[in-house]
């Protein structure tokens, strides 16, 4: 049943307790054993022709779809480069989402922009605190022998 559903070839070799071998192969023991022993044998010789034809056709369609999408991506990248070059050569600044005119946005776009600004407002104190922690961890404690930049409170080292 497995070989019928999946189109696979099967080979079973079972040894009895007395050491006598029993075998079963689909389509035959010889054809399955031959496919394992002859590594240069092509896939077309071991599978059904309609299945192999379908696989090849499907693979060709997928490769063609991939190539089409890749070409579209290349065209989009070229357009982006051209736009960037034109904007830089004109001296105009590249527009960013936060620099766009607010009065031209619809309600949904205003909510989206508000969410972006809220994310930035939440990230600013976190990043500030991380930088402060990094800077403070870099500062090593001063030794008593090394004079500090500020004058001592009680004059020279009196301990």
Whole-model pTM over 0.85: no
Which ranges constitute the DSSP H helices of 7-106?
29-37, 49-90
Residue 144: C-alpha distances to residues 33, 74, 80, 96 (Å): 84, 64, 60, 53
Contact 7, 51 (CB under 8 A): yes
Give the pair of three-digit tokens for residue 1.
């049943």
For 112-142, the pLDDT digits (tens) are 889 988 998 999 999 999 989 888 887 655 5
> CA-to-CA distance for 157 and 149, rounded, in angstroms?
14
Mean pLDDT of the residues in the chain: 75
For 92-114, the pLDDT digits (tens) are 555 666 677 788 788 888 898 89
Average pLDDT over residues 47-57: 78
For the chain, the structural domain boundaries read 2-43, 48-94, 97-138
| Share of residues in the chain with pLDDT > 70 (%) | 67
């Amino acid at each position: 049943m497995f070989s019928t559903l999946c189109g696979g070839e099967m080979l079973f070799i079972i040894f009895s307790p007395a050491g006598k071998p029993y075998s079963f192969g689909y389509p035959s023991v010889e054809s399955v054993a031959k496919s394992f022993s002859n590594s240069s044998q092509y896939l077309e010789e071991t599978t059904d022709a309609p299945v192999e034809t379908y696989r090849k056709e499907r693979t060709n369609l997928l490769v063609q779809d991939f190539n089409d999408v890749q070409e579209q991506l290349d065209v989009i990248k070229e357009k982006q480069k051209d736009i960037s070059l034109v904007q830089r050569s004109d001296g105009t600044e590249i527009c960013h989402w936060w620099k766009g005119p607010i009065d031209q946005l619809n309600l949904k776009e205003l909510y989206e922009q508000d969410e972006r600004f809220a994310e930035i407002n939440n990230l600013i104190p976190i990043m500030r605190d991380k930088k402060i922690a990094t800077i403070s961890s870099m500062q090593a404690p001063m030794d008593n022998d090394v004079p500090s930049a500020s004058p001592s409170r009680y004059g020279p080292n009196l301990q």
